[in-house]
Amino acid sequence: MIIPGLVDTHCFFMGKYFQDYGEDFSGYGQEDLLLDFVNRGDRKLVLGRNVSEEAFRALSEKSLPNRYPIVLFHSSFDEMLVNEKAEIKYAVNSGPVTMEGCVRLIEEALKDEEAFLSAYENHTGKLLAKGVTSVKEVAFDQGFGYLEALEKYRMVKGIPVRTAVVSQPVAKIWDISWAVDMKKRYAYEDFRFHGFNTMLDGSMSQEEAHLKKNYSGRDYTVRTVPDYEKAYDLVKAADENDLAVSLHAQGGMAVAEGVRILSGMKKDKCGKLKNRHSMTDLEMGEDEEFRKMAELDIHAEIYPQIQSIYDDWRGKINQVKGHVGEEYRRIWNRASMVSEGVSISCATDLPLLFPDLPESIYYACGGFVGESVEPFVEKNVMDRVSLINAWTQGGIVSLYGREERLGKIREGYGADLAVYDRNLLEEPLNTIRDAKVLLTISRGKTSYKRFK
């Protein structure tokens, strides 16, 4: 089966690079690590990953040497241990890992441009092997040299995967004038600055997704109420300067507030938004909001593979039902998005997920959670044609607009193609995940072949 090249509209390669950066401490015991730290001659940052469960727990009961900054990540990358010097220099603490909390460490890792570009080349090769020819990348703050490094790579080797970049302010405030300059500077056909990315609410598992009704057994709809008026002001400033913004919203109230915010932006004579604003995740979104999104031409960025991450699928389903009761029937309602006419694209939140169309079909069209034996809220699943359109043309429309001659197999359109080893519209769900990309063509050139 031949389809247009895939588009991932929310990637965070900066985070993936950071996850893999530093020293690999696989196989080290706690005594090996302590001896290593004591015997080091230099006083540079030690950024260590893949620390075993046993070593991590043992070290957490001790004080790490403090002659230089030490940061250790559990093999799961869910937890970290740091010493006092690291706390002071990089504003980090021992405990759960968040990318936002590691922003200064990420900035440090980005200084190693050679390692970054080597990882980037390897990463884009993997994307092309999955049929991905375009992405939207998130960069924290002003990128810590990310944009400049990719421009340098582009001048020497060319950009392997068409890339649009958005800034997610973390340690700094939104800098509109800087973003305007970046949009002018990075306006290549294959490498553009797009705008901003920001979070409205958080996850349901932590009761930080802003619901329309109270959490079960609680007297609140969210633990921390988002500052929607502040978000409106930020988006308005970006919109006035023709910068696109993506708003992350999971709970039903956050989705409604996101639509309200974007409805106040500049419109054309048909009442559609002038700038290509989007909303990401939309986990508990409802028909009414999807209808308004279609009317305003707010683009949806969904995570069609998100159900794949739950090893304990029964636990996940019970967790959802435990948090929202009968409202669980609203979760992941992609069918409503399609019926209401929303412009849909697909995203992965990489490194959380890696783009995979066959896997997307299994979960977003099959409705399974992990390896569940039956679908969860089957009425909410997408049809396969709509999902494939979202992975291809939908992503192009979101990032480049309907006038861009990409995302379709048609004369006069850019030759971005992915060839699969079977018909993805007809392959049974129980074998769809076995489907493989045979050939990827990016901008008219063969960029991946499964069989040489």
> Distance from CA of residue 53 to its chain's centroid?
27
Same domain, 101 and 233: no
Do 71 and 140 fall within a single domain? no
Let me know if residue 450 belongs to a domain: no
Of the candidates 275, 215, 277, 276, the one whose C-alpha atom is nearest the C-alpha of residue 251 is 215
pLDDT band at 404 (very low <50, low <70, confident <90, very high): confident
Region 255-264: mean pLDDT is: 98
Average pLDDT in the 309-316 region? 96
Q: What is the mean pLDDT of residues 29-57?
A: 92
In a domain, 408, yes or no: no
Closest CA to 112 of 10, 11, 14: 14
* Domain boundary pick from 60, 90, 110: 110
Q: What is the pLDDT of residues 141-198, one digit of tens each?
A: 999 999 999 999 999 999 999 999 999 999 988 999 999 999 999 999 999 999 999 9
Q: Is the pLDDT of residue 35 over 70?
A: yes
Residues 266-284 have pLDDT tens digits of: 999 999 999 999 999 999 9
171 and 303 belong to one structural domain: yes
What is the overall mean pLDDT for the chain? 96
- What does the pLDDT look like over 329-344, one tens digit per residue? 999 999 999 999 999 9
Between CA 413 and CA 404 the distance in angstroms is 9
* 72 shares its domain with 127: no
Confidence bin at 437 (pLDDT 50/70/90): very high
Is 386 a domain residue? yes
Q: Is the pLDDT of residue 116 over 90?
A: yes
- The model's confidence at residue 42, banded by pLDDT at 50, 70 and 90, is confident
- Boundaries of domain holding 59: 22-110
How many domains in the chain? 2
Q: Residue 342 falls within a domain, yes or no?
A: yes
* pLDDT bracket for residue 26 (50, 70, 90): very high
Asked if residue 269 is part of any domain, the answer here is: yes
Same domain, yes or no, for 94 and 152?
A: no
Co-location of 62 and 173 in the same domain: no
Across the range 360-381, mean pLDDT stands at: 97
326: in domain: yes
* 407 C-beta neighbours (distance < 10 Å), count: 26
| Residue 434 domain-assigned (yes or no) | no
Final residue before a domain boundary, out of 75, 94, 110: 110
Tell whether the model's pLDDT for residue 403 goes beyond 80: no
Report whether 159 contacts 190 (CB < 8 A).
Answer: yes
Same structural domain for residues 245 and 261?
yes
CATH number (domain holding residue 351): 3.20.20.140
The model's confidence at residue 411, banded by pLDDT at 50, 70 and 90, is: confident
Do 242 and 323 lie in one domain? The reply is yes
Residue 433 has pLDDT above 80, yes or no: yes
Same domain, 7 and 126: yes
Task: Give percent of the chain above pLDDT 90.
Answer: 93
CA distances (Å), origin 85, targets 31, 64, 75: 21, 10, 22
66 falls within a domain: yes
- Looking at the fold, whether 242 and 295 belong to one and the same domain comes out as yes
Asked whether residue 128 falls in the same domain as residue 239, the answer is yes
Checking if the pLDDT of 132 tops 90, the result is yes
End-to-end CA distance of the chain: 19
Using CA atoms of 243, 248, 251, 256 in order, give the dihedral in degrees to the nearest 10.
Answer: 10
Q: Are residues 212 and 100 in the same domain?
A: no
Report pTM: 0.94
Query: Which residue, 110, 127, 146, sits at the end of a domain?
Result: 110
Task: Note the pLDDT of residue 452.
Answer: 63
